Amino acid sequence: MMFLSLPLFGCATTQQIQSLQSQTQQALQKAEAALKEAQGAKESCTSGADQAAASAQRAEGAAKSAEMSAVAAERSANKAEAMADKAEAIFMKKMKK
């Protein structure tokens, strides 16, 4: 479209061409900077997501470990209660004699 307008309005001056080139170069530099910033943000998000997934996995492992510990503690408590009942029965039997 720019090329079509030049013949209609006459030739562009060297200064106008240089100005357009300068503006184009600045726009390209801004676009490259924005692209680099977007890539950095993407890498940061990816890293954050990876860390969150790893943390979730560790939390799940810890929850399973805690559940296993609770089951073991309950078994130990039941065993201790049974032993206490047995000891009480023995004591009561000895007291009757």
pLDDT tens for each residue of 53-70: 999 999 999 999 999 999
Question: Considering the domain boundaries, does residue 8 fall inside one?
Answer: no
CA dist 49 and 55 (Å) reads 10
**Residue written as tokens 């979730």?**
56
Question: Considering the domain boundaries, does residue 4 fall inside one?
Answer: no
If pLDDT is split at 50, 70 and 90, which confidence band does 77 have?
A: very high
CA dist 40 and 95 (Å) reads 81
Question: Considering the domain boundaries, does residue 85 fall inside one?
Answer: yes
**Residue written as tokens 């009480």?**
88
Range of the domain at 89: 13-96
The pLDDT of residue 57 is 94
CA dist 40 and 36 (Å) reads 6
Q: Looking at the 3D structure of the chain, how many domains does it have?
A: 1
Assess whether pLDDT exceeds 80 at residue 4.
no
Q: Which residues, 6 or more positions from 6, have their beta carbon under 8 angstroms from its beta carbon?
A: 12
pTM of the model: 0.50
CA dist 93 and 97 (Å) reads 7
Assess whether pLDDT exceeds 80 at residue 28.
yes
